[in-house]
Chains A and B, each alone.
Chain A
Amino acid sequence: MNATSDTSPMGANRIVPSAPASSAGAESRISARDVTVHYGEKQAIFGVSMDVPEKSVTAFIGPSGCGKSTFLRCFNRMNDTIEGCRVGGEITIDGEDIHDPALDVVELRARVGMVFQKPNPFPKSIYDNIAYGPRIHGLVKSKAETDALVESSLKKAGLWKEVSDRLDQPGTGLSGGQQQRLCIARTIATGPEVILMDEPCSALDPIATSIVEDLIHELREQYTIIIVTHSMQQAARVSQKTAFFHLGKLIEYGETEQIFVNPKEKQTEAYITGRIG
């Protein structure tokens, strides 16, 4: 408890991301400066600052209630939908302030997609689940275009082979792991640059989890991914950078290997070795 929150993160996040930018897609650079979140009177996030590298996986870890999910939801302003929630500080994506009144939150969420803790397919067909986002954003003009986008999204999510013959069946009829990949495909279909994942495997069995983790590996080529996880093994397996949160503060942020092998902060070490949380 004696470590201060603002020494290590600043020190760590100054490191220029080591992952080389891939050739495809626009570069997106996310940075948060002094972000605070209040739920009514209660403060949940205390002045967190960090830079997230593009085309890589960044994991947020920490004990339950440490604010990692709350912080994640700042990046696509999902906290706006919660009554009495206030976000302070500054978050920029490609230099654009996401709280700028001129910026349309709808557009932001198309650029920053989100996958939730529990698979939440709409009670519609598999096809309509995928086509939902592209349709509301006017990304597709014709049936043929929609078909193509649905197919490519499902292929990217590794679900095409399993569902190609039953696209008209309800998405709620799939297994948990398939539902979660459907939700990932749904997010991909709107053409985001960033994908936020809020404990995407916590409701899945080990086999489904490993399939989703493999998928995250592949998606890293094209998307910037931020994943909240309560499983340290998962963070170690899928991420390049890891941030450790505790009681609403960012305690340590750095290369995943460094965090797990050689943590600088005592609290991080205590959490990783299982003494807190």
Chain B
Amino acid sequence: MTSVLIAALALILMGVAYQQGVSRSRALSGASRLHSRPQYHGAFLALWATVPLLLVLLIWVVTSGMIQDWYIARQLPADILPGTTDYASAASRLRNIASGFGVAGEVAAWETEAGEGLARFMTILRLSIVALGALVGIACLLVMRARLSPRLRARNHVETVIKTVLIFCSVVAILTTIGIVLSLVTETIRFFTYVSPVDFFFGTVWNPGYSTTSNEASGSYGMLPLLVGTIMISAIAMLVALPVGLMSAIWLTQYASPRLRNVIKPVIEVLAGIPTIVYGFFALVTVGPALAGFGEMIGLDINATSALTAGIVMGIMIIPFISSLSDDIIRQVPRAMRDGSLGLGATKSETIRMVIVPAALPGIVGAILLAVSRAIGETMIVVLAAGNAPILRFDPTEPVSTFTVTIVTALTGDADFASPQSLVAFALGLTLFVITLMLNIGALAIVRKYREQYE
């Protein structure tokens, strides 16, 4: 109820202020030429009216919890001491009564009274804050309205506000990234107080002891088996996705008629829209048994859940990724290049092989690197289909484990969060992050270099 009221209030205030700005500046324009057009004066006043209102509300959001606590402290009987668990539960009982959420057990008369008092107090306070905000907004509006003049650089002020909002949005993204990395780094450092980095990065045995009570590192945390599993699955995925994706991109750009292309391309891209968990059980239920059956037929022992199964299905998942990126890149190769080759009497396939693909190669390499970094970070398919066997081996027909699978198992168990068994997830996550980051930077650098070539 209050939020609707606030929104309506802000909108009305904004509308009135805008209208005031426009009409006032129009009136002023009779005297001398306006620096900014009336719309900018309107926007200028609208901002001056609504931003103070929102600031007041922001302060309320930050402080309301403290004010509530202060009120509750005054209501509780003196014999319940602050800082004790009794105090915390009594306070939360009051809050629940006030919000109408209800509490378990008998409700004492003083509790009911205090709870209702709290509810009344908070409602009055909230309404008066809204009123205060509106007053501040109106006051600012009036003050700034009086300061409107033909020479006022309203346009510049409005542009500055817009720029600030845009900067703020991009800073949010950057800060989030930094925050995630920092939390990864601190947890990783904690993990390394239990296990030495040398053992982690170069250890060949992955066997964390799952003793939930002890905080001591029991067992070995060598990440090499996981690294080998990750690389193996990604390599198999690329072996599947690269030829199929690249060739379908070549067919789409060079051979397909526009009408066919308009049908085929979206269909391929639908593959990208399938949730990875669906791919996962497709691997588990269909591809795995099929591979195992096929292996039996030709006398090979292939596990239903293996690096091969996960790799092939992940490859299928990545096909649209490679094909649509390569498609864009091949399309960017100038037509003149193609004509030049055809004009010399080269056939279509010679032109593609010897001119178009080499010209697009840097971009295609960039696309491949992006696809690899996706493959490395992919989780659901490998969780379901790779078999989760963190053992160092190089046979793709055997079950393996990867970084992502191990992170899932480390964090979904019932191990204490501060134990090395859980903390290792952060070390693995950071390693994974660094690997994909480097791949992405490399890919972007290559793609950018390629773009410059034809601009």
Contact = CB atoms under 8 A, between A and B. Distances in A.
Interface of A: 76, 78, 81, 83, 106-110, 113-114, 116, 118, 120-124, 132-133, 136-137, 172, 183, 186-187, 190
Contacts of B334: 120
A140 to B, nearest CB: 14
B345 A109 contact: yes
Contacts of B340: 116, 120-122, 183, 186
B343 A106 contact: no
Given A120-B334, A124-B358, A78 B341 contact: no
Given A120-B336, A122-B359, A76 B343 contact: yes
Given A81-B339, A132-B341, A122 B355 contact: yes
B339 A78 contact: yes
B160 interface: no
A48 B21 CA distance: 69
Interface of B: 257-258, 334, 336-347, 350, 354-355, 358-359, 453
B343 A109 contact: yes
A253 B170 CA distance: 65
Nearest to A172: B453
Contacts of A110: 344-345
A136 B358 contact: no
Nearest to B343: A114
Given A122-B337, A132-B344, 8 more contacts: A81-B338, A116-B336, A121-B340, A122-B358, A123-B337, A123-B453, A137-B345, A183-B340
Contacts of B345: 106-110, 133, 136-137, 190
Contacts of A113: 343-344
A201 to B, nearest CB: 16
Contact of B342 (A107, A109, A122): A109
B165 to A, nearest CB: 43
Contacts of B342: 78, 81, 109
Contact of B257 (A76, A83, A108): A83
B358 A123 contact: yes
Contacts of B359: 122-123
Contacts of A187: 343-344
A272 to B, nearest CB: 30
16 contacts: A76-B343, A81-B338, A110-B344, A114-B339, A114-B343, A116-B340, A116-B343, A120-B339, A120-B340, A122-B340, A122-B341, A132-B346, A136-B344, A136-B346, A136-B350, A187-B343
A181 to B, nearest CB: 14
A186 B358 CA distance: 18
Contacts of A114: 339, 343-344
Contacts of A78: 339, 342-343
A83 B254 CA distance: 11
Nearest to A135: B354
B258 A83 contact: yes
Contacts of B337: 120, 122-123
Q: Which of B337, B346, B347, B355 neighbours the largest number of chain A CB atoms within 10 Å of its CB?
A: B346
Contacts of B350: 136
A183 to B, nearest CB: 7
A190 to B, nearest CB: 6
> Which 7 pairs of residues, A with B, have the shortest CB-CB distance?
A110-B345, A109-B345, A114-B343, A120-B336, A133-B344, A120-B340, A106-B345
Given A123-B453, A124-B358, A118 B344 contact: no
Q: Which of A120, A133, A187 neighbours the largest number of chain B CB atoms within 10 Å of its CB?
A: A120
A137 B350 CA distance: 11
A202 B342 CA distance: 21
A81 B342 CA distance: 9
A109 B344 contact: yes
A198 to B, nearest CB: 10
A106 B358 contact: no
A137 B334 CA distance: 24
Contacts of A186: 340, 344
A9 B350 CA distance: 39
Nearest to B339: A116
Contacts of A107: 345
B257 A136 contact: no
A232 to B, nearest CB: 26
A172 B336 CA distance: 13
Contacts of B347: 106, 136
Contacts of B339: 78, 81, 114, 116, 120
Contacts of A136: 344-347, 350, 354
B4 to A, nearest CB: 57
Nearest to A119: B336
A176 B192 CA distance: 60
Contacts of A118: 336
Nearest to A81: B342
Nearest to B350: A136
B391 to A, nearest CB: 47
Contacts of A172: 453
A100 to B, nearest CB: 17
A83 B257 CA distance: 8
B253 to A, nearest CB: 13
Nearest to B348: A81
A116 B337 CA distance: 10
Nearest to B355: A122
A190 B359 CA distance: 22
A135 to B, nearest CB: 9
A109 B334 CA distance: 20
Q: Which of B338, B340, B345 neighbours the largest number of chain A CB atoms within 10 Å of its CB?
A: B345
A120 B337 CA distance: 6
